[in-house]
Amino acid sequence: MTAGGHDKVERRGLMFVLSSPSGAGKTTMSRLLMKRMPDMQMSVSVTTRPKRPGEVEGRDYRFIDKARFKAMADNEELLEWATVFDNLYGTPRKPVEDALAAGHDVLFDIDWQGTQQLRERARADVVSVFLLPPSADALETRLHSRAQDSDEVIRGRMSRAGHEMSHWPEYDYVVINSDLDEAYEKIELILKVERLRRERQMWLSDYVRELQRQLER
């Protein structure tokens, strides 16, 4: 038995949550993580908000109406859900449970309300990172440069950002996104270290038992 032969199969998948006020660079960060980190699957949320230009059904979100959302929540098909900017957002349960059972990690782009619910339900499996913008100006510039939302929506998002940020102490890690590459390096490091935690390496007890057996010979 070798350690290398076991960690791929028997590592317990983790729930990697990335939250931030809108405009702090979370979507770019999630895409980078998905591209560069093996064994990572993105949780695609359902939402009742309208699709923005450039968004793809099933990749960015599953866009559904309020009745369907309510039915999913009532049938406990959602792991968590919340109202954000007057729209409903939720995480479908089944894909997450299947991925974790197969030993894959799941990446969540959800807000603080959803993070609280995930932690209540699965504390041991959740690793949460809060991404902060380097300044208020940078946040506003990013919101405008996205050019996806109206001025009114952007004003709403700016005024919500201060409130959202007040939840930073509820997260395991906080990263300031001044430089994308540097912030990415930190987030990748967090993920790599968390993957190495003893309790996630389920093969370890068998491995040590086998080592002890060999030593007793």
Contact residues for ligand 5GP (CB under 6 A)? 22, 45, 49, 80, 82, 84, 89-91, 109-111, 113-114
**CA atoms within a 13 Å half-sphere pointing along the CA-CB vector of 28:** 13
**Tokens standing for residue 213:** 């057996």
104 versus 160: smaller Cβ distance to ligand 5GP: 160
Q: Which residues is 183 bridged to in the sheet?
A: none
Residue 18: CB minimum distance to ligand 5GP, A: 8
The end-to-end CA distance of the chain, in Å, is 16
- For residue 172, what is the DSSP state? S
Residue 199: CB minimum distance to ligand 5GP, A: 26
Residue nearest to ligand 5GP (CB): 114
Residue 109: CB minimum distance to ligand 5GP, A: 5
DSSP letter string over 25-55? SHHHHHHHHHHH-TTEEEPPPEE-SPPPTT-
14 versus 91: smaller Cβ distance to ligand 5GP: 91
Residue 176: CB minimum distance to ligand 5GP, A: 17
